[in-house]
Amino acid sequence: MSNPLLKQYDAAPFADIKNEHFLPAITQLIEQAKNEINTIVENNEAPGFTNTVEALAYSGNQLNRASSIFFNLNGAETNEEIQKIAQEVSPMLSNFQNDLLLNEALFKRVKTVYDQRNQLDLNPEELTLLEKQYKSFARNGANLSETDKKKLRSIDAELAQLTLKFGENVLAETNAFEMLITDESDLAGLPEGTIEAAAQAAREKDKEGWLFTLQYPSYIPFMKYAENRELRKKLSLAFGSRAFHNNEYNNTTNVLAIAKLRHQRALLLGYESHAHFVLEERMAETPAKVQSFLNELLEKAKPAAQREFDELGAFAREMDGIDELQKWDGAYYAEKLKQQRFDLDDEKLKPYFKLENVIQGVFKVAEKLFGLQFDKVDHIDTYHEEVQTFEVKDAEGKLVTLFYADFHPRPGKRGGAWMTSYKPQQIKDGVNHRPHVSIVCNFTKPTSSKPSLLTFNEVTTLFHEFGHALHGMLANTVYPNLSGTSVYWDFVELPSQIMENWCYEKETLELFATHYKTGEVIPMELVEKIKESATFHEGMQTLRQISFGLLDMAWHGQDPSAIDDVKDFENDAFKSTRLYPETESTCMSTSFSHIFQGGYSAGYYSYKWAEVLDADAFEYFKQEGIFNKKVAFKFKQHVLSQGGTEDPMDLYVRFRGKKPNPDALLKRAGLLN
């Protein structure tokens, strides 16, 4: 069988790849990567930077590319067959990783070079690579006894399968729920576009009426606008109880098993907890620092959040006689209050945010800041007809990157939005290999009468993911494992979160926010209202993010072996941040994919951590002008292009001239008196 994944290719050969190619390709590429490692180990020359550390950094390139294609498909276009392959492939890759990190002869060579590092005259990137390599061995069991190495392998293989299963269950539960409305009066309050999309969703399933699901573009407008409180409750409880039902998709045992195995793994490696292990390689450094960071924010945000919540409760009581505000009331009454206070709602804004225009807008911002040109092309293979492809060039017309964009929900796509890569950037043999970067989102779909019109929240999401994409696109490092977004996890959100700031600026909005029917530029008064309303309910929003960070730290910052009830444990973790009454049938942890499937375990705090950086960094842009070329060049030179080549705080200070000031975030959020 001719397997496209085993050939040399530049762009991912999606058109030629079939599901049956993955298992044999990954099996063979693991062997190929093992041979590359053996060549390093069996080298008779004395261990040196080039023949050991550099050789290791460039090894396994084709395996990494094939597995990234596979796991990206498992996230964006999965099916039962792919999920089954994932259950086979994950432990294989986990074992390979263990073989690599527990390879004594390889570690010995790396350690020899590491011990001589002060005599080697290495540049900062080479030194970082060497230190990271040495630490990755030491932090992943290279110094363990044979018995403990076996235990570690077994834990890692089990974790690989459990985290996959966790994600599959959340997707299955999200797809399984449907709320079919057949009585038109139950649609009261819903925007015309939402009703039209629900009718289209019903037709696609050969049903009469209006179909609502747990996908964000269906779920969020219903929670915001539907007058029928009982139906809001039904949808809210379904969303909040994903993978918490007494069925085959229940994630409670997976959550407990993942948390306990992570803890066992940390103990085995000599750490007090999983969080201690993770945070050693983060800007925050220790669980105590994260806890104090979150508690300090909690102290500032809690009074504001309580005031906002009490005001919202009084508003709902006055408007509809609601005795006690419930979770399914929050978005609805907040939207009503926001409309009353600012005379602003998403339905007024959406006509100005046609998806195609917003895409052109984000490209225009990248052009004004970094001199990038985006040309849409159709000769690049994609995994689905909805995926768009672009060649990105610099001001001199040189190729910077291939960019893929996938915008709408499908049954085979997990929820949320993310950036990913199909080919890393690296400089090898004098050639700068440019990256292939992708963003995947779940935005409002076009209907038969309307194009895809985005909510303002979707606009900021697009800018956010595009910020991650820029971090990948503008990478300019020698080694692939230090390139682009390969940075400390609490630094990775800086490029994404800073980009959101441009969405609130008049100069930016005038570039792309034009009415999809009339072409009229968004009126100034709407721009002012967007800015005014930017801090609306910021106390409650901040409290919500803090609560997720605290839940994450509760799972990962202590010994979880005595926990036997996921819901009770979660209730306890949420105690200091709770505003709404608790609902017994819902559970956050069983669908908290960020920490139980994605890479955010002991790292959810990093969204808030990076907000301190992004608020401080954007203040610099505002001082000099939001499209100031000099500041943009410094941001590109010291942050976007450098990846993980140096300590992130050093890179930040080089860009900003000083360490970040946390007051910038509190000021922007309206939480500073």
pLDDT recorded at residue 598: 84
Q: Which helix (H) or strand (E) segment is 651 a member of?
A: helix 648-656
At the fourth CATH level, the homologous superfamily of domain 4-143 is: Endopeptidase. Chain P; domain 1 (1.20.1050.40)
Predicted confidence at residue 669, as pLDDT, reads 86
Task: State the pLDDT at residue 314.
Answer: 98
Question: pLDDT of 242-294, one tens digit each?
Answer: 999 999 999 999 999 999 999 999 999 999 999 999 999 999 999 999 999 99
Say which range, 119-133, 382-396, 522-536, has the weakest mean pLDDT. 522-536
Q: What is the pLDDT of residues 345-374, one digit of tens each?
A: 888 899 999 999 999 999 999 999 999 999
List own/partner pairs for 90-94 with CB under 8 A and 24 or more apart: 90/160, 90/161, 90/164, 91/157, 91/160, 91/161, 92/26, 92/27, 92/30, 93/26, 93/30, 93/67, 93/160, 94/156, 94/157, 94/159, 94/160
Beta strand pairing status for 399-406 and 436-440?
Answer: parallel
Nearest-5° angle of CA 118, CA 120, CA 124? 80
Residue 347: per-residue pLDDT: 87
Q: Residues 284-343: pLDDT tens digits? A: 999 999 999 999 999 999 999 999 999 999 999 999 999 999 999 999 999 999 999 999
Task: Give the per-residue pLDDT at 467.
Answer: 98
Per annotation, catalytic residue among 308, 465, 493, 505: 465
Report how far residue 261's alpha carbon sits from residue 155's, in angstroms, rounded to the nearest whole number.
Answer: 6
* Residue 627: C-alpha distances to residues 372, 375, 507, 612, 621 (Å): 13, 22, 9, 21, 7
| Of 126, 104, 108, the residue nearest 117 (C-alpha) | 126
**Crossing angle, helix 606-624 and helix 648-656, to 10 degrees?**
20
How far apart are alpha carbons 179 and 181 in whole angstroms? 6
Average pLDDT, the chain: 96
Quote the pLDDT of residue 346. 84
Q: pLDDT value at position 1?
A: 61
Residue 562 to residue 162: CA distance in whole angstroms:
20
pLDDT at 583: 96
Positive or negative, the Cα torsion across 606, 609, 614, 617? negative
Residue 436 bridge partners (DSSP): 402, 423
Q: How open is the CA angle 454-189-220, to the nearest 5 degrees? A: 40
Report pLDDT for 489: 86
CA pseudo-torsion sign 619, 624, 628, 630: negative
Would you place residue 663 in the very low, low, confident or very high pLDDT band (cuts 50, 70, 90)?
A: confident
Q: Name the residue ranges covered by the structural domains of the chain.
A: 4-143, 177-240, 254-334+548-598
> CA quadruple 309, 314, 316, 322: dihedral positive or negative?
positive
- What is the tens place of the pLDDT at every residue in 426-444? 999 999 999 999 999 999 9
Cα→Cα distances 584→208, 230, 517, Å: 33, 17, 46
Query: Active-site residue 465, yes or no?
Result: yes
> Angle at the Cα of 370 (from 366 to 374), degrees rounded to 5?
50
R_g of the chain, CA atoms, integer Å: 25
Q: State both tokens at 220.
A: 């969020």
Mean pLDDT (whole number) for 372-393:
97
Separation CA 10–CA 422 (nearest Å): 10
**Other beta carbons less than 10 A from residue 286's beta carbon:** 15
Assess whether pLDDT exceeds 70 at residue 233: yes
What pLDDT is recorded for position 664?
84
41, pLDDT greater than 90: yes
pLDDT band at 673 (very low <50, low <70, confident <90, very high): low
Could you tell me whether strands 418-423 and 399-406 are parallel, antiparallel, or unpaired per DSSP bridges? unpaired
Q: What is the pLDDT of residues 543-593, one digit of tens each?
A: 999 999 999 999 999 999 999 999 999 999 999 999 999 999 999 999 999
pLDDT at residue 668, rounded to an integer: 86
pLDDT digits (tens, 9 = 90+) for 179-211: 999 999 999 999 999 999 999 999 999 999 999
- Reading the block at residue 159, the tokens are 């974790």
Quick: pLDDT tens for 604-614. 999 999 999 99
Residue 656 has pLDDT above 90, yes or no: yes
**Residues 85-133 pLDDT 10s:** 999 999 999 999 999 999 999 999 999 999 999 999 999 999 999 999 9
pTM above 0.75, yes or no: yes
Query: CA 261, 263, 267 angle in degrees (round to 5)?
Result: 115
CA 512 to each of CA 264, 370, 576, 608: distance values in angstroms, whole numbers, following the listed order = 52, 18, 42, 29
Tokens 């363990």, located at residue: 144
Q: Which two tokens stand for residue 449?
A: 């009468």
